[in-house]
């Protein structure tokens, strides 16, 4: 028996090996107070029948190459040797590059991939494609794309995940937390790059023990911490801005806003106040006005405004709230409301984005910690596209898009190289996306498993999992570096993404530039040493690599006294101005005014989403569908493991809906339903719940896309909500994902097709082809 430490986005843990060297189980990392529930899931899937055992090519791609793109996802795969596969990929890259230029290669490849800084597959891809001459990259992200675009104008910053109040300050100073979009402990199992100590649960315990009052503004009662007394303000989805405006209006009408802070630290309160009071548009944003939109009573709004003004209040807004049409507005309005309370920069006051969205939000971190990372190198192509608009990019080459104050012209993508993400998970409006995905001439995917992306690719290369390689974990919101040890040899013919690209760069003539003559351990040593030097400049003495590798973990000290967010700016805005044009918090942005975007006006505003419970479309599609993050897996990762499968009902992703909505549709617990709108339909199993308000249904994301037939518009059988979501952008400013803005209807499904999400595709070995590594 032997145990080896590894790490994942869901934490550090140990893998136990039996005497034959086979995986026998996992044990938690001893120092982790709350290990994630699904630690055993990856070891369980390492030798699953879903593993891709060798390189494959789609059958007619082999014969007709790029003329068969409409067949993508419809055909058998032919086994290849690594030599054949690498020659094919190198040949396609060369052909596309010389026929159409580098801006016809899409390498934006979105995705969480796995933890580990060296083998982070999207980074490895970018390093490779950059050296190959360049690629079209993505802009923004799915997590907090709208925030990422608006906050620079308002606060002059873009470090969204760090716009948070540190836990010790909340416990000590905050008396009231008003959570728009709630906070959910299930989400704190995760950290991009991996947490080391899951501490959020215990911090919430301390918050509770300190007697902090909590208000959960959400369509779901359980978007709150179990065991904490919480006041639930049920709200219609996507109407948070209206509620915040109602609160702001109540503050002004009771003269409870901090005029001095607004004058000394903010710019543009006057035009915003004109809007708030209805001077500019004739509509006062009164509590009664807000009540009609949100469903929260006017009295509650007035009372909450008073409570917020009279006590140390932290306003938190979840990332989900901005993953919606006009998602820039709730973020801007959160800052405006906090500014009116005048507590920004005071301990425990102000605002926080994404409290409990991932493990590290609110962690006390030393400033500017270096992280060992693989250098990406230059990308000579400068034409990039918003990640939320990828379908439009693929469907409409040459078309122009207003984006963040400029116009971008869509490139003509001929080749997609996708690693470390699941486009059939992160993209919205999958029926349209499938058509888009079938446009380019070539789609190349590296995957450990037969995920939907692999099944719908042309060339599929088998990638290792983290357990098959050595790496270093070092997340952005963490004070730790952790050793990730290779646990087993690569399964079947799988190779590390890094090595696949090394082989390809060899064939393309730039191996030296790519691999720099280092092997895996050479690279780990190199990137660690780089960070060690940078850390030394900040006064930290890290051990030499061999000592770190033997120790398994390095911990930077926790700062003794975390600073309140924006504390120095508050203390002295003259000496510590924000990086905005005025140096202050911009409640009115001259720059945004100059763009003239109706869907992102120059101050925070309530703009009706393109569909919501108050819109005419609700007559046909009366249920607002929210697709939240799954409790038992990471997005679509680990969906095939037993923890995730056990959470399904009749093998489908369950959907929660209010009992009254269910009764009126004659649905009972466990019924199979069809959830649909004009964009698509999926099958799910119903769970009745009074924890979601009437008119709202909840389904976790991540069920592997499983269409009845491989056609755009086919019924999805497994419960993937992205067949009904829309792929418009949040606004011309952010062009980010609107995954939470969806109306649907739900009806009983009498005859439900079988789920086949976890069936690998048909594969053949060509006669006479003895494929070997
Ligand atoms: N409806 C709806 N959709 C959403 C959201 C929502 O709220 N609602 N949320 C969005 C958000 S916030 C996010 S972040 C995205 C997440 O979307 P993704 O990041 O695309 O989702 P993952 O399932 O994590 O995909 C990672 C893929 O990488 C593969 N992988 C893991 N390790 C390796 C490796 O070492 N090498 C290679 N080659 N592959 C590897 C995994 O098998 C998996 O298929 O989804 C978005 N989608
Ligand atoms: N276990 C687990 N944890 C994860 C992930 C995972 O896949 N699994 N993914 C991680 C990632 S990539 C991200 S980006 C974060 C995302 O973190 P979030 O975006 O905060 O998480 P969600 O679960 O999508 O949404 C939280 C809640 O927001 C509520 N909500 C949705 N729309 C609205 C609205 O319009 N108004 C209000 N008031 N509430 C609304 C929903 O009821 C939902 O339960 O989670 C991370 N954590
Ligand atoms: Mo995310």
pLDDT band at 65 (very low <50, low <70, confident <90, very high): confident
Q: What is the CA radius of gyration of the chain?
A: 26
Q: Is 1 exposed, middle or buried (0-12, 13-18, 19+ CB in 10 A)?
A: exposed
> Best of 629, 635, 699, 741 to mutate for ligand 2, by most ligand atoms within 8 A of CB?
629
d(CA 165, CA 563): 8
Q: Can you list the positions of beta strands (E) in 573-620?
A: 585-586
What pLDDT is attached to residue 225?
A: 84
Q: How far is the CA of 319 from the centre of ligand 3 (A)?
A: 9
Whether ligand 2 lies within 6 angstroms of the CB of 736 is answered as no
What pLDDT is attached to residue 772?
A: 41
Is pLDDT at 117 greater than 70 in this prediction? yes
Is pLDDT at 768 greater than 70 in this prediction? no
Whether ligand 1 lies within 6 angstroms of the CB of 114 is answered as yes
DSSP 467-520: GGS-EEE--TT-SEEEEE---SPPSTT-B-HHHHHHHHHHHHT-HHHHHTT--H
Is pLDDT at 282 greater than 70 in this prediction? yes
Give pLDDT tens digits for 548-586: 999 999 999 999 899 999 999 999 999 999 999 999 999
What pLDDT is attached to residue 773?
A: 36
Whether ligand 1 lies within 6 angstroms of the CB of 51 is answered as no
Q: What value does the mean pLDDT take over residues 227-256? A: 96
Give pLDDT tens digits for 652-689: 999 999 999 999 999 999 999 999 999 999 999 999 99
Query: What is the separation of C-alpha 35 from the centre of its chain, rounded to a whole number of angstroms?
Result: 21
> Best of 8, 145, 192, 628 to mutate for ligand 2, by most ligand atoms within 8 A of CB?
628
Q: How far is the CA of 571 from the centre of ligand 3 (A)?
A: 34
Q: How far is the CA of 410 from the centre of ligand 1 (A)?
A: 24
Active-site residue (options: 112, 332, 403, 523): 112
Give pLDDT tens digits for 467-503: 999 999 999 999 999 999 999 999 999 999 999 999 9
Whether ligand 1 lies within 6 angstroms of the CB of 721 is answered as yes
Contacts (Cβ under 8 Å, ≥6 apart) of 749:
672, 673, 674, 683
DSSP 525-550: HHHHHHHHHHHHHTT--PPPHHHHHH
Q: What value does the mean pLDDT take over residues 272-285? A: 98
pLDDT band at 422 (very low <50, low <70, confident <90, very high): very high
pLDDT band at 600 (very low <50, low <70, confident <90, very high): very high
pLDDT band at 63 (very low <50, low <70, confident <90, very high): confident
Ligand closest to Cα of 739 equals 1
What pLDDT is attached to residue 769?
A: 52
Whether ligand 1 lies within 6 angstroms of the CB of 635 is answered as yes
Backbone angles phi, psi at 151, to 5 degrees: -60, -35
Q: How far is the CA of 357 from the centre of ligand 2 (A)?
A: 7
In the chain, which segments carry CATH 3.40.50.740? 2-139+371-489+497-555
Whether ligand 1 lies within 6 angstroms of the CB of 487 is answered as no
What pLDDT is attached to residue 657?
A: 98
Whether ligand 2 lies within 6 angstroms of the CB of 320 is answered as yes
Whether ligand 1 lies within 6 angstroms of the CB of 496 is answered as no
Question: Contact 72/418 with Cβ under 8 angstroms?
Answer: no
Whether ligand 2 lies within 6 angstroms of the CB of 318 is answered as yes
**Which of 116-130, 364-378, 733-747 is predicted least confidently?**
364-378
What pLDDT is attached to residue 767?
A: 54
Residue nearest to atom 23 of ligand 1 (CA): 636
In the chain, which segments carry CATH 3.40.228.10? 165-361+563-593
Q: How many CB atoms lie within 10 A of CB 18?
A: 11
Whether ligand 2 lies within 6 angstroms of the CB of 237 is answered as yes
Residue 601 in 3-state DSSP? Answer: coil
Ligand closest to Cα of 11 equals 2
What class has domain 165-361+563-593? alpha beta
What pLDDT is attached to residue 226?
A: 80
Note the CATH number of domain 2-139+371-489+497-555.
3.40.50.740
> Best of 293, 318, 358, 736 to mutate for ligand 2, by most ligand atoms within 8 A of CB?
318
Q: Which of 225, 203, 174, 499 is nearest to 350 (CA)?
A: 174
What pLDDT is attached to residue 563?
A: 94
Rounded-to-10 torsion of CA 540, 546, 552, 558: 0
For the chain, the average pLDDT equals 96
What pLDDT is attached to residue 765?
A: 87
Whether ligand 1 lies within 6 angstroms of the CB of 418 is answered as no
Backbone angles phi, psi at 761, to 5 degrees: -70, 170
Q: Is 753 exposed, middle or buried (0-12, 13-18, 19+ CB in 10 A)?
A: middle
Give pLDDT tens digits for 439-462: 999 999 999 999 999 999 999 999
Q: How far is the CA of 279 from the centre of ligand 1 (A)?
A: 46
Is pLDDT at 418 greater than 80 in this prediction? yes
- Beta strands 480-484 and 553-555: pairing type? antiparallel
Is 110 among the residues known to form the active site?
yes
pLDDT band at 771 (very low <50, low <70, confident <90, very high): very low
Ligand closest to Cα of 178 equals 2
Whether ligand 1 lies within 6 angstroms of the CB of 580 is answered as no
Give pLDDT tens digits for 701-722: 999 999 999 999 999 999 999 9
Q: Is 709 exposed, middle or buried (0-12, 13-18, 19+ CB in 10 A)?
A: exposed
Residue nearest to atom 47 of ligand 2 (CA): 187
Location of structure tokens 């596309």: 96
Active-site residue (options: 10, 82, 106, 110): 110
What pLDDT is attached to residue 167?
A: 97
Q: What percent of the chain has pLDDT over 90?
A: 96
Whether ligand 1 lies within 6 angstroms of the CB of 73 is answered as no
Could you tell me the maximum CA-CA distance found in the chain, to the nearest angstrom?
Answer: 84
Could you tell me the CA-to-CA distances from 319 to 187, 389, 763 in Å, in that order? 11, 19, 41
Running DSSP on this structure, what letter comes out for residue 753? Answer: P
- Beta strands 138-139 and 56-58: pairing type? unpaired
Whether ligand 1 lies within 6 angstroms of the CB of 448 is answered as yes
d(CA 726, CA 739): 7
Q: How far is the CA of 744 from the centre of ligand 3 (A)?
A: 23
Residue 438 in 3-state DSSP? Answer: coil
Is pLDDT at 66 greater than 80 in this prediction? no
Pair of tokens at residue 649: 């009902």
What pLDDT is attached to residue 230?
A: 87
> Best of 193, 320, 643, 730 to mutate for ligand 2, by most ligand atoms within 8 A of CB?
320
Give pLDDT tens digits for 8-54: 999 999 999 999 999 999 999 999 999 998 999 999 999 999 999 99
Q: How far is the CA of 184 from the centre of ligand 2 (A)?
A: 8
87: enclosing H helix or E strand: helix 82-100
Q: Which atom of ligand 2 lies closest to the CA of 637? A: 7
Q: How far is the CA of 143 from the centre of ligand 3 (A)?
A: 3
Q: Which atom of ligand 1 lies closest to the CA of 114? A: 32
> Best of 324, 701, 719 to mutate for ligand 1, by most ligand atoms within 8 A of CB?
701
pTM above 0.75, yes or no: yes
Q: Which of 486, 489, 642, 455 is nearest to 52 (CA)?
A: 455
Is 621 among the residues known to form the active site?
no
**Which of 219-233, 339-353, 419-433 is predicted least confidently?**
219-233
Q: What value does the mean pLDDT take over residues 750-763? A: 95
The topology (CATH level 3) of 616-748 is: Barwin-like endoglucanases (2.40.40)
Q: How far is the CA of 359 from the centre of ligand 3 (A)?
A: 13
Q: How far is the CA of 704 from the centre of ligand 3 (A)?
A: 17
pLDDT band at 227 (very low <50, low <70, confident <90, very high): confident
Q: Which of 514, 450, 499, 504 is nearest to 88 (CA)?
A: 504
């Amino acid at each position: 028996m032997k145990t080896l430490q590894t790490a994942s986005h869901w934490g550090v843990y140990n893998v136990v090996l039996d005497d034959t060297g086979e995986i026998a189980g996992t044990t938690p990392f001893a120092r982790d107070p709350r290990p994630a529930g699904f630690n055993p899931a990856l070891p369980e899937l390492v030798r699953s029948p879903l593993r891709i055992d060798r390189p494959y090519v789609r059958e007619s791609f082999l014969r007709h190459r790029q003329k068969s793109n409409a067949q993508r996802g419809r055909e058998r795969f032919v086994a290849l040797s690594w030599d054949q596969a690498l020659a094919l990929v190198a040949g396609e890259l060369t052909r596309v590059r010389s026929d159409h230029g580098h801006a016809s290669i899409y390498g934006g490849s979105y995705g969480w991939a796995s933890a580990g800084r060296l083998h982070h597959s999207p980074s490895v891809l970018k390093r490779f494609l950059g050296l190959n001459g360049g690629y079209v990259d993505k802009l923004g992200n799915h997590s907090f794309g709208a925030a990422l675009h608006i906050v620079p104008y308002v606060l002059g910053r873009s470090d969204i995940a760090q716009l948070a109040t540190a836990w010790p300050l909340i416990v000590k100073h905050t008396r009231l937390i008003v959570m728009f979009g709630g906070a959910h402990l299930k989400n704190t199992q995760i950290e991009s790059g991996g947490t080391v100590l899951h501490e959020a649960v215990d911090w919430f315990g301390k918050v509770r023990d300190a007697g902090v009052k909590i208000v959960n503004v959400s369509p779901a009662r359980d978007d709150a911490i179990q065991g904490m007394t919480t006041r639930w303000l049920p709200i219609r989805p996507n109407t948070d801005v209206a509620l915040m405006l109602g609160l702001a209006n109540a503050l002004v009408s009771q003269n409870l806003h901090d005029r001095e802070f607004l004058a000394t630290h903010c710019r543009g309160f006057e035009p915003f106040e004109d809007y708030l009071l209805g001077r500019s548009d004739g509509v006062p944003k009164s509590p009664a006005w807000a009540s009609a939109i949100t469903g929260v009573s006017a009295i509650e709004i007035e009372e909450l405004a008073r409570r917020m003004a009279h006590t140390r209040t932290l306003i938190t807004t979840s990332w989900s709230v901005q993953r919606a049409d006009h998602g820039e507005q709730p973020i801007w309005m959160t800052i405006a409301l906090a500014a009116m309370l005048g507590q920004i920069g005071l301990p425990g006051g102000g605002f926080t984005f994404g409290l409990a969205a991932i493990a590290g939000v609110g962690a006390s971190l030393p400033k500017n910690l270096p992280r060992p990372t693989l250098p990406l190198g230059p990308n000579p192509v400068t034409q990039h596209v918003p990640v939320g608009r990828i379908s439009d990019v693929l469907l409409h080459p040459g078309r122009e898009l207003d984006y963040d104050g400029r116009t971008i012209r869509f490139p003509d993508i001929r080749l997609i190289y996708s690693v470390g993400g699941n486009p059939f998970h992160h993209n919205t409006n999958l029926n349209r996306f499938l058509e888009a995905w079938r446009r380019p001439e070539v789609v190349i995917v590296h995957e450990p498993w037969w995920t939907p992306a692999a099944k719908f690719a042309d060339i599929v290369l088998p990638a290792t999992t983290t357990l098959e390689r050595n790496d270093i974990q070092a997340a952005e919101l963490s004070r730790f570096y952790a050793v990730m040890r290779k646990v087993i040899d690569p399964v079947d013919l799988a190779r590390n993404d890094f090595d696949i690209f090394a082989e390809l760069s060899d064939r393309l003539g730039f191996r030296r530039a790519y691999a720099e003559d280092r092997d895996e351990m050479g690279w780990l040593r190199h990137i660690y040493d780089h960070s060690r030097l940078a850390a030394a400049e900040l006064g930290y003495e890290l051990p030499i690599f061999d000592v770190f590798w033997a120790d398994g973990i390095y911990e930077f000290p926790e700062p003794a006294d975390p600073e309140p967010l924006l504390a120095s700016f508050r203390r002295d805005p003259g000496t510590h101005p924000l990086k905005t044009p005025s140096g202050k918090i911009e409640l009115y942005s001259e720059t945004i005014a100059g763009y003239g975007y109706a869907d992102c006006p120059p101050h925070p505003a309530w703009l009706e989403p393109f569909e919501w419970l108050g819109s005419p479309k609700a007559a046909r599609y009366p249920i607002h569908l929210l697709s939240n993050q799954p409790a038992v897996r990471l997005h679509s990762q680990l969906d095939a493991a037993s923890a995730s499968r056990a959470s399904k009902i009749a093998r489908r992703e369950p959907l929660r809906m209010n009992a009254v909505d269910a009764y009126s549709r004659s649905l009972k617990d466990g019924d199979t339903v069809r959830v649909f709108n004009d964009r698509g339909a999926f099958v799910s199993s119903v769970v009745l719940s009074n924890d979601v308000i009437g008119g709202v249904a909840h389904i976790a994301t991540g069920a592997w896309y499983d269409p009845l037939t491989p056609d755009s518009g086919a019924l999805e059988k497994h419960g993937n909500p992205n067949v009904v979501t829309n792929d418009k952008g949040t606004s011309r400013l952010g062009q980010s994902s609107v995954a939470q803005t969806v109306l649907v209807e739900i009806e009983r499904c009498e005859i439900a097709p079988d789920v086949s999400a976890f069936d690998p595709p048909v594969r053949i070995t060509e006669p006479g082809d003895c494929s070997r590594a």
